[in-house]
Structures are given as C-alpha cells and as structure tokens.
Amino acid sequence: MGAGSVPARYLVYFQYLGTDFNGVAAVRGVQRAVGVQNYLEEAAERLNSVMPVKFTISSRTDAGVHALSNAAHLDIQRRSDLPPFSPEVLTEALNTHLKHPAIRVLQAFRVPSHFHARHAAISRTYLYRLATGCPRPDRLPVFERNRCWALQAHCLDVAAMQEAAQHLLGTHDFSAFQSAGSPASSPVRTLRRASVSPDPTSPFVLPEESRQLQFWSMEFESQSFLYKQVRRMTAVLVAVGLGALMPAQVKAILESRDPLGKHQSRVAPAHGLFLKSVLYEGLGKRK
C-alpha cells in the first residue's frame, strides 16, 4: 500500500435535529453524551483515510439546538494510488455511513488546504421559532415539540418587537447578551439583520386548533455571534412582545454591557433555535 497522497480538504454542509445531542461539538470520553460531530467522524472512519478525519465545525450549537445548515471542513488523505473523492461521492458516502437518522450531509465542496470553515464564514443566520396561544406544553402538536418555544400568551406585539430590534442593529458591544464561558476575545459584533414575522399555519396543527395557535419566526444575521447571544436577544425581544419591557429599555440593556441584569439574564430555550445558514464567498448559498 502506498504511503498516501496529498490530503484533500473539503467543506461540507450538514443538518440535524439537535434534540438527541449534547450540541454539535464532539464529546470525548463521556458516556451517555454525544455530539453531532461524533457521528460525522464515525462515518468518516469508513472512508479509509490514511490519517484520521477530524471535522472542524463552523458554528458551535448547544444541546437541543437544531441546524438547517451548518458547515465544517475536513481533510481526507487516500492511498497514493487512489484519486481524491469527488464532492458528490463524499456526500453520498458520509450519508451512507451515518448511524443517526437525525443527521444528514447536504453538500460538499473541494476547498484550498488553507480554507477554514469557522474563520472564512462571511455570514451566519439563526432562526428562532415561537408559538403563541399554547396554555400548556401538551397542547402543542407532537410534531412541533422541541422545535419551538411555546408561549401561553395569545399574541405578541410584533410592532414593539421590531422597534426594539432596531436598537440591536449595527456594531455594538454585546456584553449584555453574552453568557459566561464565551471564548470570544472581544464582545463587539455587527448585527446585520433582526426580524420578527408571523409564520403560516403549521401543517401539523389540526384545523380546530389553528385558531388558538400562532407561529412566529425571528431571524438574526451576523458574521459571528457571542455565546448564547441569539437566545438572550430572543428572550429580551419576547419580553417586549409580551409587554414586560418597552422597546427603549432594550437600548438601555445593550448600553449597560451587564449580562447579569434583571431582564437580560434570561435565555430562550434551546429547542426553538435553528442555525439556518452559513455563507462563504464564492461557494454558493445554502439554507
């Protein structure tokens, strides 16, 4: 057998339902806890790379958070007598060997050896789903459980939420919305977009329930986010929508730079959050 060819680097997009996982990152040496990365790397072992395959994840998500499209880069070094996998073959092979039904590889690209999935991303978009008119958790359709934050309130003041969101747009010190344990060297981020909008009726809601249940989407776009920043911003904007905060108070919270304040210390549940997209220059748009 040959010593091995030059490693080929790939960018792969993948999606997952986060309910069963301890986040996207691999969990090493711990029983009863597993990350999405563990399953991806287990599938990659079947590709017979000369060197072990490690996924470098673009965007880390916590336990219970989902992804419509996350990304990672990996290197595969085949025997010297074998050509590199085509992106299409790599996608099919990984999906064939994946052992968890809640993970799917969407697409792969060949990228230069210096490409880095985390550092090269130019945009990340998160989606947060809400449901109003749900007096008890068991009133939510089983198909929507663990996929949205169910609120007892019958409605949200969307205009107030949109007004409040305007205070978050632009470049700011987001320390007030950062949870402890963040590895970021700076709390300054640029929020390009923050939107709140009603969703069409869920196809999983029975007609007799559709009058009570209303679904909502919140989207946030930035090149990068602080640890739990999106879930903290969501919680504050929901408080505005419920009338517990005024839009102007969101500006004061932001300017306080205090993550332990009365209102901003709440974190929206993980199960309503989806990483919607990670974009790279010249590599197309995946959602």
Which residues, other chains included, contact 28 with Cβ-Cβ below 8 Å and sequence gap of 6+? none
d(Cα 209, Cα 164) in Å, to the nearest integer?
30
Q: What is the mean pLDDT of residues 20-34?
A: 84
Q: What is the mean pLDDT of the chain?
A: 92
- Confirm or deny that 126 is annotated as ligand binding: yes
d(Cα 90, Cα 13) in Å, to the nearest integer?
12
Evaluate if residue 2 carries a pLDDT over 50.
no
Evaluate if residue 179 carries a pLDDT over 70.
yes
CB 125 within 8 A of CB 71: no
Evaluate if residue 1 carries a pLDDT over 60.
no
Q: What is the mean pLDDT of residues 213-234?
A: 96
Query: Where do the DSSP E strands lie in 199-282?
Result: 214-222, 273-279
Q: Specify the pLDDT at position 31.
A: 65
Return the structure tokens found at 162.
């949109």
Question: What is the band of 285 on the pLDDT scale with cuts at 50, 70, 90?
Answer: low
Q: What is the mean pLDDT of residues 268-286?
A: 89
Domains of the chain from N-terminus onward: 8-119 (3.30.70.580), 122-279 (3.30.70.660)
Summarize pLDDT for 75-88 with one digit per residue, the tens.
Answer: 999 998 899 999 99
d(Cα 216, Cα 264) in Å, to the nearest integer?
21
Cα atoms in the Cβ-side hemisphere of radius 13 Å centred on 97 = 16
Question: Count of CB atoms within 10 A of residue 212's CB?
Answer: 14
Summarize pLDDT for 137-147 with one digit per residue, the tens.
Answer: 788 889 898 99
Evaluate if residue 287 carries a pLDDT over 50.
no
Which residues, other chains included, contact 19 with Cβ-Cβ below 8 Å and sequence gap of 6+? 64, 66, 102, 146, 271
Which residues, other chains included, contact 137 with Cβ-Cβ below 8 Å and sequence gap of 6+? 145, 150
d(Cα 165, Cα 243) in Å, to the nearest integer?
15
Cα atoms in the Cβ-side hemisphere of radius 13 Å centred on 114 = 0
CB 39 within 8 A of CB 100: yes
Return the structure tokens found at 224.
């990068």
Active site residues: 62
Share of the chain above pLDDT 70, in %: 95
